[in-house]
Amino acid sequence: MIEPLFLLMRWFQTIPIAMLMLTPFEDRELAVSRRTGWLISTAYMLLAGVALAAASPVFSVSGQRNIAARDFALAAVLAVYFFFWVTMVRTPGTRKLLVAVIMLHYADLLNAMSNVFAYLILKERYLEMINAECGSLTFDLCLLASTVMTWPLVWYFLRHILRENLPDLDKRQTQRGLSYICVVFLLFCGATYYPPYEIQPEMSVVIGAMTVTDMIACYIFFQEIDAALRQLESYQMQYQQISSRVEETSRLRHDMRRHIVTLGALNAQGKQAEIADYLKKYGAVYDQPEEYKLCGDPVVESVLGHYLAQAGEEEVSVNWSVALKGSSIDPIDMTVLLGNCLENSMEALRQVPSCAPAWFTKFPASSAAFMV
């Protein structure tokens, strides 16, 4: 007896996978809103599922489904969906292909898990029920259970690992990641396409181990990419700090030559009082940077040194205090936070030169609060 309802249930379970297709991308990378994309994906998969379930009896032979015709129809449906998906996502083609292969791999992983669960339940009736035109409610429920167990993990991976790293990957890195995922996907497909499920429990253990290992390998791969990118950002920040120090040294040498010329001119004119006053101001400006190197953090000292030197040159009175006790703030975030705060303070002080305000800054690591 033909039961298209069971087949329809199976096709409808492509909807959770389709909804994940937009997860790795930022909102600015989508041609439509994320909600609109989800609605389009869901509507298409619903219509395609109904059409495939209704047409399934046509491609059956003596109550058994034509597997080749089923796979061809599925490929055609997915090809149309991928075409619309490509138009909805505005990122380089290699990134789209990387996400597409990951999701195909996830679909194949779900199929392998479901077959294992179904065989453990159906046993000798497995092949008859799986290939039957009537469909298998047991397999549909196993597929649903596999999706429920893995979907949150895959969503977390796509949302918090892949989305954060994908925009930072250049073309070469993306191609390497794509090559790695394709090799893993093809090996998994080859190992699980027609496995001997009757060899139990060995076959279930093997497929389960392959599934878990595969998921862990993908997670570690992109975690390593994330660590490498963050290390590169740290190196770039250190390079910028070194470049800033070099520029600062060059500027100080230029200022020193100017000071020497000024002192020479005053000495030639015999203006000893003016020389003493000039040296007093000069000492106040350049003695100050040695006083604030107390926190022991090179990032904080670099930022403070730059802006305290600016404050000294503009004769701004500064009262400062630094407290860094077990701070867990990333050095890059600390640099941006301090730089923005102190730059805004300097800009505000330049706009009110007549007030000559005192400038008090405090940086407690526990709250990361700033008082200016």
Q: Tens of pLDDT along 325-365? A: 656 666 556 666 776 777 778 777 777 655 444 443 433 33
Question: 30: helix, coil or strand?
Answer: strand
Burial class (CB in 10 A: 0-12, 13-18, 19+), 75: exposed
- The string of pLDDT tens digits covering residues 20-79 is 999 999 988 999 899 999 999 889 988 888 887 777 777 676 656 666 777 788 788 888
Decide if pLDDT at 240 tops 60. yes
- Choose among 298, 331, 321: nearest CA to 372: 321
Mean pLDDT of 266-285: 74
Q: Which tens digit of pLDDT belongs to each residue from 162-178?
A: 888 888 777 887 888 88
70 and 14 Cβ atoms separated by less than 8 Å = no
Radius of gyration of the chain (CA): 33
Phi-psi category of residue 368: left, alpha or beta, with phi > 0 → left and psi -120 to 50 → alpha: left
User: Within a 10 A sphere around the Cβ of 9, how many other Cβ atoms?
Assistant: 20
Residues 6+ positions from 319 with CB-CB distance below 8 Å: 358, 359, 360
Can you tell me whether residue 54 is helix, strand or coil?
helix
Q: What is the pLDDT of residues 241-268, one digit of tens each?
A: 777 777 777 776 776 777 677 777 777 8
Contact 118, 130 (CB under 8 A): yes
Q: At residue 323, what are phi and psi to the nearest 5 degrees? A: -135, 105
Instruction: Assess contact for 164 and 225: CB atoms under 8 A.
Output: no
Contacts 24+ apart (CB under 8 A), 341-344: 341/370, 341/372, 342/303, 342/304, 342/307, 343/307, 344/372
**Range with the poorest average pLDDT among 61-75, 189-203, 278-292, 319-333:** 278-292
Say how far apart CA 296 and CA 226 lie, in whole Å: 28
Cut 0.85: pTM above it = no
